Structure 1
Amino acid sequence: MTASRATVTGAPTEAELIDGCLRGRQLAQKLLYDKYAGKMMAVCLRYAQTTFEAEDVLQEGFLTVFRTLASFRRECPLEFWIRRIMVNAALRQHRRNASLVAVSDGEYPETLASEEFTLSNYNFQELLEMVQELAPRYRMVFNLYAIEGYNHKEIGELLGITEGTSKSQYSRARVILQTKLERLGTPIRHVS
């Protein structure tokens, strides 16, 4: 068996997947989707309020991936590039739905968190549900800052809000999550 034949029978490399997709090969597209869909669904679920909404974001994201794959410069792992597309698809979905959601600040505690807290003691599914229950504006800022690593200035630019509003919404999201965790009866570990 030749070396090129061995590559064909084994799992394709990232470069082979990209090249196959760029040539319009449906099998390569399916393999790329299968390889990353699970991880990207987890990203989408953090931004969406429902699984249905997350599935829409995932579908829109992968359509963008396949439509713009030729612009991928291969300077970073493909997974990072796809993740950025999913986050942007979630932000577009949020902008489309933003006018449909009204939130009363009265539903949430007034005190803002001053200490960091860790979520490592909690089950992923419970945490995901709590994050999904946040008002969309808080959920977006929380995810972008705490998980994706954007700073508040960048978040402000992405969401069309001020840096101060981003900081405030992140702080409120933390308070809400802390309150929900305290209601579960589990002590919160504060990081000093």
Structure 2
Amino acid sequence: MKNIINGCLKGSRRDQELLYRRYSPRLYAVCLQYSDNDEEARDVLQEGFIKIFTNLSNFKHEGSFEGWMRRIIVNTALERYRSRNRLYMVEDIDRIPEPFVDPGNEDYSGLEATDLMDIIRMLPPKYRMVFNLFALEGYSHKEISKMINISEGTSKSNLARARIILQRRVEAFTGIKKKVLNG
């Protein structure tokens, strides 16, 4: 990997392409977690790789190179999120359909990782952002509040709402899947 990094630092298009091909699928998956759609995820990936190549000389070869790139990608997604400065419609938790399966039944074995990622992507953006940063990236509420300019209390509230929505949607999804499979 050091040879590829050194080649990129020297401007080798071949090494840049090798680096991109090796890491873009995994980093694209990260982009999808923070984006509303595939097109936006591709834009974040492209912007992120431009920053990776531009800042490659700042990588100290301490710790994980992939982790360093992942932080750049997540920060790129956060910058895009903040710059849009969208007004979000608050989804009323009470309007999310209650699951129509037995609430005591916690068999989610039919749920695949791609199904779960799709369900997470359906969260309203402000809930998805906090959920991803807390649950997937491991940031604290204090760190999240600084990253996306909200209070710690709002971060905690958004995470709680995200979890409720996710639980209901997972239960509804697995109930639908069971109904389809079992007729």
Note the residue ranges of structure 2 that are not aligned, 5 or more in a row: 96-105, 176-183
TM-score norm. by structure 2 comes to 0.85
Structure 1 residue aligned with 2:67, among 80, 87, 112?
80
4+ residue stretches of structure 1 with deviation over 2 A? 117-122
Structure 1 counterpart of 2:77, one-letter code: A
Partner of 1:179: 168
Partner of 2:126: 137
Distance 1:129 1:155, change over 3 A: same
2:66 is the alignment partner of 1:93: no
Aligned-residue Cα RMSD (Å) equals 2.0
Cα pair 1:138 1:170 within 8 Å, conserved: yes
- Count of aligned positions: 166
Structure 2 residue aligned with 1:63, among 50, 54, 59?
50
1:77 shift after superposition: 1.5
Note the residue ranges of structure 1 that are not aligned, 5 or more in a row: 1-13, 111-116, 187-192
CA distance in 2, matches of 1:180, 1:173: 10
CA distance in 2, matches of 1:104, 1:82: 32
Q: Deviations over 1:21-73 (max 9, x none)?
A: 00000000000000100000010001111011100000000000000001111
Cα pair 2:108 2:174 within 8 Å, conserved: no
CA distance in 1, matches of 2:63, 2:28: 20
Q: Percent of aligned positions with the same letter in both sequences?
A: 43
Cα pair 1:109 1:176 within 8 Å, conserved: no
